[in-house]
Amino acid sequence: MPTALITGITGQDGSYLAEFLLAKGYKVVGMTRRTTLQDWALIQHIQNELTIVQADLLDQGSVDYLVRSAVQGGVDLVTAIRMATLNTAEWFRMYDRGGIRPGNRADMIVFDDPQQFDVRLVIRGGQIAAENGKIVPLHYELKSGDIVEILTAKQGGPSRDWLNPHLNYVATQKARQKIRQWFRRQQREQDRPDVVIGEAQGHQDPVGESAQDQAKRLACAIAAIRQPAQQTP
């Protein structure tokens, strides 16, 4: 029997793929992250037919694992590191990182054994981000004169891992409540049905409207549909 491994099997794409492969006679092994926050709703009906394993990037690593594998496979150490740093950064046009030169971001790693490539220290933006496999605590108290780098994005939001009490990402109940409110708002947005109102009705593009304005517009549209059409003589 052929076997298929699906990462992210609890998501929409993963669950659809699992159903498809099961119907084709595959043995499906699904991989989930090792976290207390698991949503099995999309695979609940086929869960008994799946083999579920838990794994995390911390088990083997990510880019460091690829470099380690390349070196053990005979690739020169400098070439392997260049492939994982400078070449990748230049491919994505991130010219301010990937190498050590004036004006670049101070992103560096420290490792000991070139064959094992065990990363001992991670420096991000000139600050220690992780040491000996552990993330540096986020409760560092700022001092006068400290420079803080704030990263922003047009899209994105908190991660559900922030609510995991074992990871200690969020310290206060108030902060956890705000994160839960964010996820509830996102869920309401997903559950709200899409309504298309034709330009002939005189309605504008709903992009940018508040939820209250969209609800009013939807009510007006429903009322217009229910109103009996005028008969022409």
- pTM score, two decimals? 0.42
H-type alpha helices, the chain: 12-23, 57-60, 63-72, 77-84, 86-91, 173-191, 211-226
Cβ atoms 66, 57 nearer than 8 A: no
* CB contact set of 126 (below 8 Å; sequence gap of 6+): 106
pLDDT top residue among 226 and 167: 167
Report the candidate in 181, 180, 189 with the shortest Cα–Cα distance to residue 211. Answer: 189
pLDDT in tens, 89-143: 899 888 888 888 888 888 888 888 888 888 888 888 777 888 887 777 655 666 7
Q: Does the CA dihedral 183-185-188-190 come out positive or negative?
A: negative
* CB contact set of 206 (below 8 Å; sequence gap of 6+): 195, 197, 214, 217
pLDDT in tens, 201-218: 444 444 455 666 766 776
Q: Is 28 exposed, middle or buried (0-12, 13-18, 19+ CB in 10 A)?
A: buried
- Kindly report the average pLDDT of the chain as a whole number: 77
